[in-house]
Amino acid sequence: MPGQELTLGITLAVLGAGMLHAAWNALLKAAPGGDPMLDTASVVAGSSLCALLVLPFVPLPNVAAWKFMAASTFVHFGYYVTLAHAYRTGDLSFAYPLMRGTAPLIVTILGIVFLRELPTAHVAAGILLVCGGIVSIAFVRRERHPPAAAGWAFANAAIIAVYTLIDGTGARASGNAVSYVSWLIFIEGLPFVAWIIARRGRPAVTYLTRSWRRGVAGGACALAAYGIVLFAMTRAPVAAVAALRETSVLFAALIGAVWLKEGLGPMRLAGAASVVAGVAALKL
């Protein structure tokens, strides 16, 4: 069983994973193609390629982990579809925090029910502060965002919670978190990329080939970020790691303000302060 506390090393590693996660989402949102489905497919293909390069250096996961990998592959397909639609209808600084901020609350509830991981009082307070701060960042400028963006973001959040629970359990069952995430990322990207090519045909192949550098860069960040998170979930409670991971929203808000010109004001700074307080509570 994993340890019951977040060590300093695990905390810093998951914060780094959050920065990597924000980076690949910013690459996706800022892609010049203007087609979220194809842009998402380029990152997914890049992550599968990066994982393929890692596979010769890791063992096969334990047999017990493969059922979780299969379930996660199915769920991730829905994740990529809802992610693309969320970015098609909303800003990075709105869709990203809404997706990531509500997911840890769902993960906490599912973790209590299925993993019997009841958070301590300070961990629960930390999760609420992190999630509350993240969601407040999303709703600073409500009038600019159509209801469809919120709908897709909430759907994505529910999917994030489901695959987080599946993969946290699968990584523990695998005997090697790096092996689990490498095989998972390689396998789960293939159905989505094949579906995109089947739907879009030659233009999709042309686009993926042309944007391979961006796809590989984003894919490497995605693989590293999720690998760190799943390793952390073998060492600490899933809900606490899931909440800590979503500090990526702080990096995404900064990237959205500076790079994508989406604005950063006092209310977002207040939300960021709540997230920082939540991280402190998780480490009490």
Mean pLDDT of the chain: 85
Helix, strand, or coil (residue 111): helix
| C-alpha to C-alpha distances, 248 to 20, 113, 269, 272, nearest whole angstrom | 8, 26, 14, 11
Instruction: Report the candidate in 177, 244, 185, 283 with the shortest Cα–Cα distance to residue 19.
Output: 244
> For residue range 133-178, what is the model confidence (pLDDT) as tens digits?
777 777 766 556 678 888 998 899 999 999 999 999 999 999 999 9
Name every residue whose Cβ is closer than 8 Å to that of residue 54 and which is 6 or more positions away in sequence. 178, 182, 223
What does the alpha-carbon distance between residue 84 and residue 81 come to, in Å, rounded to a whole number? 5
Look at residue 150 in the predicted model and tell me its pLDDT. 84
Instruction: Report the candidate in 198, 102, 196, 200 with the shortest Cα–Cα distance to residue 152.
Output: 102
SS (H, E, C) 206-256: HHHHHCHHHHHHHHHHHHHHHHHHHHHHCCCCHHHHHHHHCCHHHHHHHHH
0.75 cut: is pTM over it?
A: yes
- Beta strands, E only, 114-229: none
Kindly indicate the confidence band of residue 127, based on its pLDDT and cuts at 50, 70 and 90.
confident
Tell me the two tokens of residue 262: 């989406």
> For residue range 39-49, what is the model confidence (pLDDT) as tens digits?
889 999 999 99
Look at residue 17 in the predicted model and tell me its pLDDT. 92
Name every residue whose Cβ is closer than 8 Å to that of residue 225 and which is 6 or more positions away in sequence. 17, 18, 20, 21, 24, 248
Q: Which of 2-11, 69-78, 87-96, 263-272 comes out lowest in average pLDDT?
A: 263-272
Average pLDDT of the residues in 13-22: 88
The residue extents of the domains of the chain are 8-282
Q: Is pLDDT larger for residue 163 or for residue 3? A: 163
Which segment, 130-144, 185-199, 251-265, is predicted with the most confidence on average?
Answer: 185-199
Q: Is the pLDDT of residue 116 over 70?
A: yes
Kindly indicate the confidence band of residue 88, based on its pLDDT and cuts at 50, 70 and 90.
confident
Q: Is pLDDT larger for residue 284 or for residue 58? A: 58
Look at residue 141 in the predicted model and tell me its pLDDT. 60
> For residue range 63-81, what is the model confidence (pLDDT) as tens digits?
999 999 999 999 999 999 9
